[in-house]
Amino acid sequence: MVRIGGVTVTERSVGQNAQLALLLEVSGTPKPGNVDREREYDDLRFEHFMAGAVGARPGLDRAAAGDPIGPAFETAVEGMAGQSAGNTQFGALLILTPLVAAASGGRLSPSGMDAVVRETTVEDAAAFYRAFEHVDVAVDDPPDGLEPLDVRRGSNAIPVLRARDLTLFDVMAESADVDGVAAEWVSGFERVFEASERLLDGSGPVADRASDVFLELLAAEPDTFIVTRQDRETAEEVQRRAQAVLDGDEDATKLAEEFVERDINPGTTADLVAGGLFVALERGLEV
């Protein structure tokens, strides 16, 4: 128990903070192109993300308890997928699971994260591949020569992983130049920690801060999920227009409506915000 403002409250566990980060991320609005509490797609609704956050909790708790990152991630994805829309937070869980593991071990820092992910094993990679059997995930075709390691092969790729002795960190490193989540794995979760600092330095309701940080991240780099689903030109347009919102030249709400209409979803940026929220919560962000 802790005292906050003269009121006694129960201190949240690491797993609870991870789940809360998922809930706060989807609650922030406007986040142009993302599902939030005011905007959704016909087949991907706010309620699906709420249910996904609840379903993911057992896997996040496994990571907090010290279980290997790969199996904990697979458990989280399997639980997340237990709602009618399928994939809601795959990328966010790929960021959150190692963050939870690091936080539980007292290593929630860029250098600590680098150590945690480099300690992953071939069996962690195998569990990561199995996670793709629980849900459909939009991914690029693999580079030439890496077709046997296409994640869409799921368990069928595991013998290749073992033959090549590839850890989960190795798998992430192969995709880091084209995938924003994988890039976090090889950079000490640099953008996640930057987002957490902005959230802690902000003011007002946390969900509103999350929306602000989302726009800042979106304006900083092209969203790789948009590159995968549409193309780089569209991702660069989104980046420019997010900056225009920050400059006061566009309206965030109108842009959000337009991007939903055009089915432009900056999913990687949302994943980074979820990670940033978790780190901020672990570092004392009050809710």
pLDDT in the model for residue 8: 41
Q: What is the pLDDT of residues 219-258, one digit of tens each?
A: 999 999 999 999 999 999 999 999 999 999 999 999 999 9
The CATH H-level (homologous superfamily) assignment of domain 12-281 is: Triphosphoribosyl-dephospho-CoA protein (1.10.4200.10)
pLDDT in the model for residue 1: 40
Residue 206 has pLDDT above 90, yes or no: yes
Report the candidate in 199, 277, 223, 285 with the shortest Cα–Cα distance to residue 32: 223
Q: What is the pLDDT of residues 130-171, one digit of tens each?
A: 999 999 998 888 877 788 999 999 999 999 999 999 999 999
Domain boundaries, the chain: 12-281
Q: Sign of torsion, CA 79 86 52 217?
A: positive
Question: In this prediction, what percent of the chain has a pLDDT beyond 70?
Answer: 97
pLDDT in the model for residue 10: 54
The CA distances from residue 275 to 42, 196, 240, in Å, are 26, 8, 24
Q: What is the pLDDT of residues 83-130, one digit of tens each?
A: 999 899 999 999 999 999 999 999 999 999 999 999 999 999 999 999
